[in-house]
Chain A
């Protein structure tokens, strides 16, 4: 399915008036334009990375930054976009909506060095299957894995973040069930996005043996009912101090001692500690909830070569090193070129960093952030929880 056909199908199905867009669509071959429209968030379109890319490629990046993943994907419908930085769940959405085009992996030399987690979907044959929108399995278009919907450039593991002064944890190991321990009533916080909040609850109930589900990331309607019932009871007890939907909100909650335990990831823990409130990142007994953000090429991309150059730049190592500084991992090991051995030990080696080395984490990914198939039912029931 060549890229032109994708664009034509988008015209037929996607755009409002096919005629107008056809007018707007550029000729197949055009000069290397000196501009690249990239849609992303503040945690990946960071200053040093953009400046380095422009220095090397001579292409000026025109970033469009928005915290809402849906808004980032929909940006392609309303404005010229070349690269879309997105998580696997919203890449799946963008692909179904024909907003992005397949990426020819042969044009990305460094992708060959990707860790097994992103090639097979499992770090090792024995590690858990990693339910949900597993990039390792979801990103490839063809069986031969030569075409991809998106190329992950940074990934992370969510686990239980807690205030060690308030919440004891032997050898920094906690179960997802701890989030619902009545002892932390009024001091717990969950993810505020409905399908991820329900996933957190499912992980907790699974750990507490209250939920038998085949795939925690795609619950059946009955399973969703049991989770929501459980959440409503907890809410009535006043268990949740608040929910959070963004990095800054979670950091504020924990720094201000409003919340002692929440699902969080290493960069938030680093930030809370830096603000002076004790905070640790526990190793989850049942395994981590992982998510990978990468770059997709928009179906209406006007600078395809520039788009590939942008992805190659992210895999080349400089960006990997920069993101490692704030606690994110790179799927390819090219970061070593830009980091001292000591820096590598501190981030990838797990020295002085809760949760151990990256290999151990890769092998303990229990679920991936996932947008469930029966999204409507999730939203209906989550609203029931909010309205209770």
Chain B
């Protein structure tokens, strides 16, 4: 019978292979996109690749009024950041409220989850009609933001439920007995401990808002968000400018994360290594 230590190592290697294998699987389309973003001026968004050039990056940066991705990208980024922060704050508030099991918290749980359940297109259409009747102008920063949060909050909320689920209340009780008020205990003990979950919720808020287009279909004014502009590209040529944009977004994300890690080297290490 092979030694139990070897079996442990085999399990570790197997799970490691699964993780790295899946990571590669996750990055393959991104690398394909990256490769095709350097195709020649006659190249398309599929193989075979025709020539190699920076044509599409230049095309992306050249200002065009209707097909220009930059303003919608800026709007989508701003919207995603706002959604990210609001999702994190509301998710923690909602999860914290759930911990108090207030009357109606069961129904509240389903209310928040309804955001994911209601199909996006019709929710957007419904919101657009209602705001039309109420005379509220449609704009990407108001009506679209409201609808986006409805979609991103449930994800943040469920993440916080997972984090609070096996949360060790004695740590908070320790804080209280040491004379900290409920608020200080929350701020100094609870929050740091659930920080990974809060970051997770914020990431959800950002990613899901940045990609959302079903709900934005109707809820935007004439200034549209990035996904809508990309979706409209289907009607004309699908240019590799899309891939150039995608590759740039990935590179920028890598740089942003790299610098964030460098900045937070101290605290990030501390937060993630605190063993409960």
Contacts and interface: CB of A to CB of B under 8 A. Distances in A.
A50 B45 CA distance: 27
B247 interface: no
A249 B234 contact: yes
A64 B64 contact: no
Nearest to A81: B222
A5 B161 CA distance: 56
A47 interface: yes
A67 B64 contact: no
Interface string B123-139: 00100110111110010
B52 to A, nearest CB: 14
Interface centre among A15, A41, A78 (most CB of B within 10 A): A78
B65 A79 contact: no
Given A65-B66, A78-B128, A246-B234, A20 B46 contact: no
A79 B66 contact: no
Contacts of A67: 231-232, 234-235
B47 interface: yes
A247 B48 contact: no
A186 B42 CA distance: 27
Given A42-B67, A66-B217, A79-B221, A276 B50 contact: yes
Contact of A46 (B50, B66, B125, B228): B66
Contacts of A255: 44, 46
B222 A63 contact: yes
Interface string B200-227: 0000000000000000011001101000
A388 to B, nearest CB: 24
A23 interface: yes
B176 interface: no
A74 B48 CA distance: 39
A109 interface: no
Interface string B25-40: 0000000000000000
B51 to A, nearest CB: 9
Interface in B139-191: none
Nearest to A37: B222
Interface residues of A, number: 42
Contacts of B221: 79
Given A42-B233, A62-B222, A47 B64 contact: yes
Given A20-B135, A24-B135, A251-B44, A42 B217 contact: no
Contacts of B237: 247-248, 251, 271
Interface in A74-99: 74-75, 77-79
B231 to A, nearest CB: 6
Contact of B236 (A75, A248, A252): A248
B238 interface: yes
Contact of B44 (A17, A23, A63, A252): A252
Given A51-B65, A64-B222, A23 B235 contact: no
A339 interface: no
A16 B127 CA distance: 13
Contacts of A8: none
A276 B46 CA distance: 11
Interface of A: 15-17, 20-21, 23-24, 37, 41-43, 45-47, 50-51, 62-68, 71, 74-75, 77-79, 245-249, 251-252, 255-256, 271, 274-276
Interface of B: 42-48, 50, 64-67, 125, 128-129, 131-135, 138, 217-218, 221-222, 224, 228-229, 231-238
12 contacts: A42-B66, A42-B235, A45-B66, A78-B128, A246-B234, A247-B236, A248-B233, A252-B44, A256-B47, A271-B237, A276-B48, A276-B50
